[in-house]
Amino acid sequence: MSYPERLDAAWQAHLAPRGTDAPTVVSTFAGCGGSSLGYSMAGFDERLAVEWNEKQAASFVANFPDVPLHLGDIADLGDADALRLARLAPGELDVFDGSPPCQGFSLAGARELGDGRNQLFQEYARLLRAFAPKVFVMENVRGMVIGKMRLIFADIIRELRECGYTVSARILTGGYYDVPQLRPRMIFIGVRNDLAVRGIRPSHPAPFIRPPTVREAWQGIENTADECKVARFAETRLVHRILLRMKTGEWGDDYHPNRQLYGLHRLEWDKPSPTLLRNGGAGGVCEACHPVENRRSTIAEAKRLASFPDPFVLRGTFEERWAAIGNCVPPLFMRAIARHVRGLLDQAKAVETGDHHAATA
């Protein structure tokens, strides 16, 4: 099955109706819906999403019109209101998901311990306590375990354990989960302690595929002339000269190391893309330039690199849509995690019903 065919099959799974026994999920810091789409592709019933950015929320609503959305600061969402919106009592939720903003941890940023964005994790932990789900999943950048940020990482693990969970954290790379992008991310998975003591331990999905290539991802893609025009840089002469000289696989910094050209990169047809950055579509610099044409990738091409099916709707300007893609958890990446977590939930259900054989399968 080709990559576009795999994406279409995943999209059809997302559109399929949910059964009454579908596992439930609540998504915080939902963005445009990358994680939500992954859970939906895996058969989950999303009960509530939380997002403060109006532009990204517009994309979310366009694709998930039936999911209740709290549009605003997560700190303004009280525990009782969150439970009411999700139509759940404490302990009933299957999975609590979230990707607290990661710029304070990112290797591309200043990496300050006191960055306020690092503290949004506390709001995640507050709602985790309120919902008391069977399992939680939290995603962040790998930079949180490098250098001084390891102090925050240790605090995060401690806090999650104090919430009542047995926790495992590993760096996974999206490319090995059917995403044409080598996007490494720290994935936390926690199992509620009452289940953990009965043998349900947190674990992570094993890699199952070689990373799809740009050529495979873009098979059959259709770009309009207007889309290609928008994707061309409003570049400075310097960027234009360097781009004209760059061969596939090369980085702009190789040509001008003393300039701010971080991320200027020509993709290679037969390799996956590097990580797409949220600001890659702005400022005349982009880490996903077309392999042979003198332009950045179109939004349609970037969606494929992030494993979004073609029908998925993104709202806003080019830069706003690019930021949504750069901020997201790739849907097929999250689908793999969601499927694995669903296996943990099946084990937990077997424990609760006394089915010893299923619980140990």
Return d(Cα 94, Cα 23) in angstroms, integer: 6
- Contact at 8 Å (CB) between 300 and 310? yes
Active site residue 163: no
- Nearest to 185, CA basis, from 67, 3, 294, 327: 327
Placement of tokens 């901020």 in the chain: 327
Active-site residue, selected from the candidate residues 102, 286, 289, 328: 102
Catalytic residues: 102
